[in-house]
Structure 1
Amino acid sequence: MVTYGLIAINVLLYLVTAAQAGNPMQNHRGSSVFGEFVLVPLLVADGEWWRVLGSGFLHYGAIHLLVNMFALYVVGRDLEQVLGRVTYGCLYLVSLLGGSAAVMALSDPYTMTAGASGAVYGLFGAVTVTLIRLRQSPTPMLVVIGVNVLISFSLPGISLWGHLGGLAAGTLSALGILFVPGWLSARDLRSAQRLGWIAMGLVTVICLAVIIAAALWLRTQPPFITPPMVTVPA
């Protein structure tokens, strides 16, 4: 149900932005909701912290939305059943934060980034770790990840850092949930769950630390004329 809920939120926000813009394919133009939540590193540095999460539920046009929601539908349902609703939902949000952290640290500070791809890439990584934990072949997911990363490198106008940041956060979170308890020889199920949550919490802290450090660094830079902002799907 978490997967369907996430899809519903993304679709609802897209419909709102499309209605405000009066154009389903150019919904980022003329939408106050889109302008309020799209990720722009300089605006985050100026105190608009909600953008690091809100941007992950916005999309540039119907095609961008459909691609991300189809991927979320395909990988999300099975992963939710394996991890459980709460753990899965938290992993999704941590992956989203990882994508935003990478954008904050490594992208142009004027770039407008939006999309669920960072979180979806995190699910890709988590599914791969899950397959390894279940002693099944991770090759299909590794191929999917490799193809998508290649596309991110090859095509202009795609948030490469958002994708890679989400992939890293989701993969590390899944490792923490599924492997760290065994590595640390957890004594029982409750201890294993506690260690998994601690591991995912550490990933979250790292993501937040990167976002804060990037924002503080941007605040130290000398002011200069703002060039036209560039939109980047994630």
Structure 2
Amino acid sequence: MEPQSGLPRCHRHPDVETGIRCTRCEKPICPRCMVSASVGFQCPDCVRGGSGTGHAPDANQPRTLAGGRVASDGRLVTKILIALNLALFIAAQVAGDRLVDELTLIGYAYSPPLGELVGVADGEWYRLLSSTFLHQEVAHFVFNMLGLWVIGGIVEPELGRIRFAALCLLSGLSGSALAFVVAPSNQPSLGASGVVFGLIGAWAVLTRRQRYDMRPVALFVALSLLLTFTRPGISWEAHIGGLVGGALVTYGLLHAPKARRNLVQYGACGLVLLIDLAMVLARSASLTT
């Protein structure tokens, strides 16, 4: 029964009123039950993986909101991605345009230096992902890495390393796929913007799932989209593709029911992957026939 103050009672200590809820199961918890998480608090049951019987060997391992393991370094994958981008940025500065020409996203075009047709439609599918780690200009590189560091530091601890890595790869792929489909076939595109916008979409879904104030996130998304469509030389297709792909993947990861969590999460990632592949195959067929 709810107390007269309107506050619920702790589900483990019915005599204690509380205004705090577990960020995973949303049950009311009092200070005696609260276990600090990367964001908010969890109840002891969720920290134990929801299994008080110990049937699973790792049932007492803390879990993220998406069901992944809580890691001591919540930015490990983010750091690895930044290091990969940095390595390719340095390589591009040393090797020059030749390396950029080989790794950038291009749909289907004639390359004078190579004297042949190149591009995704010509079978160079690796460009869909290699371009998402490639930068030429210092400002472009710094801006994207700053976004990856800040937003990745928010999202990665809540998803766990494996799910976060899948989110980043699928966001980058979704951005490249939409750019390949919509942009002119001979228009080059490169940069981690698709991944960054995928993280922005993930951040929005995560904030909504945790029932936090959406206004700061909505303002950030609005400003990001404003810059996307007002600044010249920006691949808006990669931004929108990454944003939508990241939001869809994260929605599937966070809203999967516990009883079928792995199945639903794998299915959500697989669905986004299939959509991307279908877009690439259809566009490739239209360019080569």
Q: TM-score range by the shorter chain?
A: 0.7 to 0.9
Q: Does 1:41 align with 2:107?
A: yes
Structure ID, larger Rg? 2
> Equivalent residue for 1:174?
250
Deviation per CA, 1:125-179, whole angstroms, max 9, x where unpaired? 0011011111112221221111111111111211011100110100111111112
In the alignment, structure 1 residue 92 sits paired with structure 2 residue 168: yes
1:154-207 Cα shifts (integer Å, max 9, x gaps): 11211011100110100111111112x2xxxx362xx22321221121011101
Give the aligned CA root-mean-square deviation in angstroms.
1.1
Residue ranges of structure 1 left out of the alignment (5+ in a row): 22-29, 221-234
> Does the aligned pair in 1 maintain the 2:92–2:136 contact within 8 Å?
no
Q: Which 5+ residue runs of structure 2 have no aligned equivalent?
A: 1-75, 109-118
Distance (whole Å) between structure 1 residues aligned to residue 251 and residue 174 of structure 2: 15
Q: Does 1:192 align with 2:261?
A: yes
How far apart are the structure 1 equivalents of 2:99 and 2:258?
48
1:69 aligns with 2:145: yes
Instruction: Specify which structure has the higher proportion of helix.
Output: 1
Which deviates more, 148-157 or 92-101? 148-157
Structure-to-structure mapping, 1:1-234, within 5 angstroms: 1-21=76-96, 30=97, 32-42=98-108, 43-179=119-255, 181=256, 186=257, 188=259, 191-220=260-289
Tell which deviates more after alignment, 104-113 or 194-203: 194-203
Helix, strand or coil for the counterpart of 2:168? Answer: helix
2:3 aligns to what?
Answer: none
Mapped to 2, the partners of 1:187 and 1:112 lie a distance apart of 43
Structure 1 residues 114 and 187 mapped into 2: Cα distance closer, same or farther (>3 Å)? closer
Flag the structure with more relative contact order, 1 or 2, with Cα contacts below 8 A and sequence separation at least 6. 1
* Distance in 2 separating the partners of 1:114 and 1:48: 15
Partner letter of residue 162 of structure 1?
A
Q: Residue 114 of structure 1: SS of its match in structure 2?
A: coil
* Equivalent-residue separation in structure 1 for 2:136 and 2:183 (angstroms): 18
SS in 2 for 1:41: coil
Counterpart secondary structure, 1:158: coil
CA drift of 1:60 comes to 2.6
CA distance in 2, matches of 1:34, 1:138: 39
The answer to whether the 8 A contact 1:128-1:138 is kept is yes
In structure 2, how many angstroms separate the alpha carbons of the residues matched to 1:75 and 1:166?
14
| 8 Å contact from structure 1 (residues 97, 208) kept in 2 | no
Superposition TM-score, scaled by structure 1 size: 0.85
Match of 1:113, SS state, is coil
Q: Which moved more, 1:141-150 or 1:88-97?
A: 141-150
Q: TM-score, normalised by structure 2?
A: 0.69
The Cα shift of 1:78 comes to: 2.1
**Using the alignment, how far apart are the partners of 1:41 and 1:103 within structure 2?**
9
Q: Give the Cα–Cα distance (whole angstroms) in 1 for the partners of residues 186 and 214 of structure 2.
A: 37
Contact conserved, 1:152 with 1:158, CA < 8 A, in 2?
Answer: yes
**Alpha-carbon shift at residue 15 of structure 1 (Å):** 0.3
